Amino acid sequence: MPDIFDLFKENEEKLHERPAEKVWQKLEKKLDKTRRPRRRGIRFLQPVTVVLILFLLLLAILMAEQWLAVRLSYHAVAAEQAAVAPSAVNRTRPSEAPAVAA
Q: What is the pLDDT of residues 5-37, one digit of tens each?
A: 888 888 888 778 788 899 989 988 888 887 776
- Per residue in 68-77, pLDDT tens? 988 888 888 8
Q: How many domains in the chain? A: 1
In terms of residue numbers, what domain contains 24? 7-85
**What does the pLDDT read at residue 17?**
78
Q: Is residue 102 part of a domain?
A: no
**What does the pLDDT read at residue 29?**
87
17, 21, 27, 28 alpha-carbon torsion, rounded to 10°: 110
Q: Is residue 91 part of a domain?
A: no
Residue 91 has pLDDT above 70, yes or no: no
45 backbone dihedrals φ, ψ, rounded to 5° = -70, -30
Averaged pLDDT of the chain: 79
Higher pLDDT among residues 56 and 87, named by residue: 56
Q: Is residue 95 part of a domain?
A: no
User: Which pTM value belongs to this model?
Assistant: 0.40
Where helices occur in the chain by DSSP H, the ranges are 4-10, 12-15, 21-34, 41-88
